[in-house]
Amino acid sequence: MSDSTKATRRNDKSDLVATWTVPLLDGVHVIEFEHGTTSGKRVIRVDGKEILRREWMFKLVGEEVFTLGAQKAKCVLRVDPLPLFAFSYGLLVDGKPLEKFTEKQEATNRYWSVITEAGTHKVVLERHSLDVFVDAKLIETENTFVEEGTEMKFEINGVFAVIKASYTHKREGVIHELYVNGQKVEEDSDIG
């Protein structure tokens, strides 16, 4: 078999059976799963990069375990049997079904998109640790107490930014708002 034939075969996604989108602190990752039920093939790709390939597996059901992103989230991809030689595919992230994990991420983190001359940047605040990520990289912040709460100052590609934290009341708790060059940036409603 020639090298070009091998490359074509490796990039053929005709057995693609599932795709998941996983929000993490370092960004949103896309997981693709190929399952060849006649060949026994299993291929997992993360953000387009192949991380696992198994050929000629006789057991068509079971689990594949891998880590994801900078935070090394533990992922378990499950292949379960269904009647009539069919299969169901599920993804657990840090021990939770993807939907529950995503709900937790949305409750724990705050997400913003910031447009500068250099392009669009994703800013993520992890509320428990108060870590700030810009374009999937943990950055240093200058933290100060102010009359209304706290401020976390940093730069996004040379542009001044600050996350202001203020306590409103028991129902809402601490509110985090991002300002870039003095202008409030609306929080992303879709973390993808």
Span 80-106, pLDDT tens digits: 999 988 899 999 999 999 999 998 888
Bin 26: left if φ > 0, else alpha if -120 < ψ < 50, else beta. Answer: alpha
Judge if 138 and 90 occupy the same domain: no
**125 burial class (0-12, 13-18, 19+ CB within 10 angstroms)?**
buried
Q: With beta carbons less than 8 A apart as the criterion, state whether 124 and 185 touch.
A: no
DSSP run (H or E) holding 73: strand 73-82
Q: What is the dihedral of CA 164, 169, 174, 176, to 10 degrees?
A: -40
Question: Tell me: the pLDDT tens digits for 164-183?
Answer: 998 766 666 788 899 999 99
Question: Is 190 within a domain?
Answer: no
Q: For residue 192, what pLDDT is reported?
A: 55
Judge if 115 and 147 occupy the same domain: yes
Judge if 113 and 74 occupy the same domain: no
Question: Is 110 within a domain?
Answer: yes
pTM for the complete prediction? 0.70
Question: Is 174 within a domain?
Answer: yes
Domain count, the chain: 2
Q: For residue 127, what pLDDT is reported?
A: 86
Q: With beta carbons less than 8 A apart as the criterion, state whether 79 and 89 touch.
A: yes
Query: Which strands, in side-by-side order, build the sheet including 119-126?
Result: 109-116, 119-126, 131-134, 137-139
Question: Is 192 within a domain?
Answer: no
Distance (Å, whole) CA 56 – CA 16 = 16
Distance (Å, whole) CA 34 – CA 61 = 13
Judge if 35 and 61 occupy the same domain: yes
CATH of the domain at 168: 2.40.128.180
- Residue 163 clears pLDDT 60, i.e. is over it: yes
> Would you give the DSSP letter of residue 189?
S
Judge if 116 and 90 occupy the same domain: no
* List of residues 6+ apart from 21 with CB closer than 8 A: 28, 29, 30, 31, 192
Q: Which of 17-21, 39-43, 130-134, 155-159 has the highest mean pLDDT?
A: 17-21
Judge if 58 and 13 occupy the same domain: yes
Q: With beta carbons less than 8 A apart as the criterion, state whether 110 and 124 touch.
A: yes
Domain with 49 in it: 3-94
Judge if 73 and 144 occupy the same domain: no
